[in-house]
Structure 1
Amino acid sequence: MENLTLFSSFELGKITSHRSGEVKFGEKMLTAPKGVNITNFLTECKAKFVLLGIPEDIGIRANFGRVGAASAWDSAIKCIANIQHNRFCKGSQLLILGCLNVSEDLKKAENLDFQKIEDRKLLSQLVEKIDKEVAHILFTIVKAGKIPIIIGGGHNNAYGNIKGTALAKGRPINAVNLDAHSDFRILEGRHSGNGFSYAFDEGFLKKYFIFGLHESYTSKNVLLRLKDLEDRVRFNTYDEIAIRKVKNFEQELNQALTFVKNDSFGIEIDLDSLPNIASSAMTLSGYSVEQARQFVNHFGQHANAAYLHICEGAPGLSDDKNPQLIGKLIGYLITDFIKAKANYAAL
Structure 2
Amino acid sequence: MENIIPFTISNLVSITNHRSGELKLGERIIIIPKDEKISDFILKSDAPFVLLGIPEDIGVKANYGKTGTASAYASTIKSLVNMQHNKFCKGNKIIFLGHINVEKEMTKATTLDANDKEQRKELFKLVEQIDKEVSHIIRVIVKSGKIPIIIGGGHNNAYGNIKGLALGKGKMVNAVNFDAHTDFRIMEGRHSGNGFTYAYENHFLKKYFIFGLHEGFISKIVLDKIKSLPETLKYNTYEEIEVRKEKNFDNELNIGLDFVKDDPFGIELDLDAIPGIYASAMTNSGFGVEKARQFIHHFGQHRNASYLHICEGAPDLDLSSSNHLTGKLIAYLITDFIKSKMLN
TM-score, normalized by the shorter chain, greater than 0.5: yes
1:174 Cα shift? Answer: 0.1
Q: In the TM superposition, what are the counterparts of 1:332-343 in structure 2 within 5 Å?
A: 332-343=332-343
> What residue in structure 2 maps to residue 248 of structure 1?
248
One-letter amino acid matched to 2:20: S
Q: In the TM superposition, what are the counterparts of 1:160-179 in structure 2 within 5 Å?
A: 160-179=160-179
Aligned residues: 344
Gaps of 5+ in 1: none
Deviation by residue 1:166-190 (Cα, 9 ceiling, x = unmatched)? 0010001000000000000000000
> What residue in structure 2 maps to residue 112 of structure 1?
112
- Distance in 2, matches of 1:318 and 1:157, equals 23
- Distance in 1, matches of 2:109 and 2:43, equals 36
- Distance in 2, matches of 1:220 and 1:305, equals 31
> What residue in structure 2 maps to residue 26 of structure 1?
26
1:35 Cα shift? Answer: 3.2
1:53 aligns with 2:53: yes
- Distance in 2, matches of 1:332 and 1:102, equals 26
One-letter amino acid matched to 1:191: H
TM-score norm. by structure 1 comes to 0.98
- Distance in 2, matches of 1:35 and 1:201, equals 40
- Distance in 2, matches of 1:242 and 1:325, equals 25
- Distance in 1, matches of 2:323 and 2:79, equals 11
SS in 1 for 2:159: helix
- Distance in 1, matches of 2:83 and 2:157, equals 26
SS in 1 for 2:156: helix
1:320 Cα shift? Answer: 2.9
Gaps of 5+ in 2: none
One-letter amino acid matched to 2:73: W
- Distance in 1, matches of 2:327 and 2:39, equals 28
1:319 Cα shift? Answer: 4.4
Moved over 3 A (4+): none
SS in 1 for 2:206: strand
One-letter amino acid matched to 1:31: I
- Distance in 2, matches of 1:17 and 1:49, equals 23
> What residue in structure 1 maps to residue 82 of structure 2?
82
Deviation by residue 1:28-61 (Cα, 9 ceiling, x = unmatched)? 0001111311111111112110000000000000
- Distance in 2, matches of 1:186 and 1:139, equals 26
One-letter amino acid matched to 1:328: K
- Distance in 1, matches of 2:229 and 2:110, equals 37
- Distance in 2, matches of 1:71 and 1:35, equals 29
Q: In the TM superposition, what are the counterparts of 1:89-108 in structure 2 within 5 Å?
A: 89-108=89-108
SS in 2 for 1:336: helix
1:213 aligns with 2:238: no
One-letter amino acid matched to 1:207: K
- Distance in 2, matches of 1:197 and 1:93, equals 33
1:10 Cα shift? Answer: 1.4
> What residue in structure 1 maps to residue 10 of structure 2?
10
- Distance in 2, matches of 1:23 and 1:46, equals 21
- Distance in 1, matches of 2:281 and 2:213, equals 13
- Distance in 2, matches of 1:153 and 1:340, equals 24
1:299 aligns with 2:291: no
One-letter amino acid matched to 1:329: L
- Distance in 2, matches of 1:39 and 1:146, equals 11
One-letter amino acid matched to 1:61: K
TM-score norm. by structure 2 comes to 0.99
SS in 2 for 1:5: strand
One-letter amino acid matched to 2:38: I
SS in 2 for 1:234: strand
1:298 Cα shift? Answer: 0.1
> What residue in structure 1 maps to residue 191 of structure 2?
191
Deviation by residue 1:219-267 (Cα, 9 ceiling, x = unmatched)? 1111111111121110000011110010000000000000000000000
1:218 Cα shift? Answer: 1.1
> What residue in structure 1 maps to residue 155 of structure 2?
155
SS in 2 for 1:291: helix
